[in-house]
């Protein structure tokens, strides 16, 4: 099977959707001539022209706002915000306008925009270029929040996101862009559907984005010790695939949640509540969360890895679960 990088998968999705639908346009900082700082929009400008691949000034509020206006008027904009940290500047448009228009205008308007961004630590980018803010978006009714962990998921879910009539926050990860994975050539993948990345029977690990790979490594180590770990990647945080997660935990009776974002009010708190509210009497142990430490991401290579869950952390949690 053909292997592609995550960045190539994102680019393929953009190309396939832009070929398919002339209303799809891409805008953002350095997306055109430069081709995107993580190469995801490379050569799109040559392919589709400056009408559809728009290099913008450093204006995150207006990039998001222009995307809202375009989406209200029949285009399907894919706006890129280079770092998730910068989405803080776009929030008015996403939270007050994009998320609410369909509801507050009683369905008279829909806002089919995709906001692509990338999150997370791992590159010494420090506190203002490394955050994981997915729970901010997941907290807002009206937004869809997607966090793919593999090239194939990135491609299939980005295609679905572009075709979807609702605003989608599509969160890539800076440490995944140059990881490789099989390209199944699949068409759209369903939004709101979790993926069981590894089947197991003793304990369920629910992990997101970069942490999915670490969870799979930990599961492999645990397997050698006779512990069978099921690894679930929700892929979409809102809407959340409650069914798949509950089915797994009903089977394993144990759940560990792993994410890079800080613990307090992280998405793990919500997932833990979903499991506990539904399966309280069936659990063999309290739901456990492994999360980023409650600190800004530090710069030094001696510090940065220390504040994010490691393979060892996950391995310990699944092999000595109580």
Partner 1 sequence: MQINAELSLSMYEDLLRCRYVEEKSLELFTEGLTPGRMHPYIGEEAIAVGTAAAMKPGDLAVSTHRGGAHLVALKADIVRVFAEYMGRATGYSAGRGGPMHISVPEIGFLCTNGIVGSGIPIAVGAAMACRRTSPEKVVICFFGDGAANTGSFHEGLNMAGIWKLPVVFVCENNGYAETLPVGKGIAVQNVSSRAAGYGISGVTIDGNDVEAVYAEMSDAIRRAREGGGASLVEAKTYRIGQHFSGESNHYRTEGEVQTWKQRDPILLFREKLLERGLAVLSDLSDLEDAVRDAVEQAVRVAKDARFPDPETALRGVYRDAQTLGTGTP
**The token pair that represents 169 in the structure block:** 């926050």
Nearer to partner 1, 103 or 280 (CB): 103
Please report how close the Cβ of residue 101 comes to partner 1 at its closest, in angstroms: 7
Task: Name 10's Cβ contacts closer than 8 Å, sequence gap at least 6.
Answer: 40, 116, 154, 155, 158, 172
Nearer to partner 1, 54 or 262 (CB): 54
| Catalytically annotated residues | 60, 129
Please report how close the Cβ of residue 23 comes to partner 1 at its closest, in angstroms: 8
User: What number of residues does the chain have?
Assistant: 322
Distances (CA, A) of 215 to 76, 206, 221, 255: 35, 8, 10, 12
Please report how close the Cβ of residue 32 comes to partner 1 at its closest, in angstroms: 13
Q: Contact 292/298 with Cβ under 8 angstroms?
A: no
**The token pair that represents 183 in the structure block:** 């390209």
Nearer to partner 1, 20 or 306 (CB): 20
Residue 291 CA, distance from chain mean position: 16
Nearer to partner 1, 165 or 312 (CB): 165
Please report how close the Cβ of residue 237 comes to partner 1 at its closest, in angstroms: 9
β-pair partners for 205: 231, 256
From the list 211, 245, 174, 230, the residue with the least C-alpha distance to 314 is: 211
Q: Which residues bind partner 1 (CB under 8 A)?
A: 23, 25, 51, 54, 56-57, 59, 61-62, 64-75, 77, 89, 92-93, 96-97, 100-110, 141-142, 144, 164-166, 190-193, 236, 238-244
């Amino acid at each position: 099977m053909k292997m592609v990088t995550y960045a190539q998968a994102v680019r393929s999705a953009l190309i396939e959707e832009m070929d398919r639908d002339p209303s799809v346009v891409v805008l953002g900082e350095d997306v055109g001539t430069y081709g995107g700082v993580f190469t995801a929009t490379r050569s799109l400008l040559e392919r589709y022209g400056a009408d559809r691949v728009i290099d913008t000034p450093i204006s995150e509020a207006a990039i998001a706002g222009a995307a809202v206006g375009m989406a209200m008027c029949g285009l399907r904009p894919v706006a890129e915000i280079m770092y998730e940290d910068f989405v803080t500047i776009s929030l008015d448009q996403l939270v007050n306008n994009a998320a609410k228009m369909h509801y507050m205008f009683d369905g008279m308007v829909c806002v089919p925009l995709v906001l692509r961004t990338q999150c997370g630590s791992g590159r010494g980018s420090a506190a203002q270029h490394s955050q994981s803010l997915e729970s901010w978006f997941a907290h807002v009714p009206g937004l869809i929040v997607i966090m793919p962990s593999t090239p194939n998921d990135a491609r299939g879910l980005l295609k679905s996101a572009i075709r979807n009539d609702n605003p989608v926050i599509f969160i890539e990860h800076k440490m995944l862009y140059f990881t490789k994975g099989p390209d199944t050539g699949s068409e759209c993948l369903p939004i709101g559907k979790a993926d069981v990345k590894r089947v197991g029977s003793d304990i369920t690990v629910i992990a997101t984005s970069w942490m999915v790979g670490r969870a799979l490594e930990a599961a492999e180590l645990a397997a050698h010790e006779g512990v069978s770990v099921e690894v679930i990647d929700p892929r979409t945080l809102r809407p959340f695939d409650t069914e798949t997660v509950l089915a797994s935990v009903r089977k394993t009776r144990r759940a560990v949640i792993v994410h890079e974002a800080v613990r307090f009010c992280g998405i793990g708190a919500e997932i833990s509540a979903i499991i506990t509210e539904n399966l309280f009497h069936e659990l063999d142990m309290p739901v456990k969360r492994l999360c980023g430490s409650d600190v800004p991401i530090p710069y030094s290579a001696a510090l940065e890895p220390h504040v994010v869950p490691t393979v060892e952390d996950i391995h310990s949690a699944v092999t000595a679960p109580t």
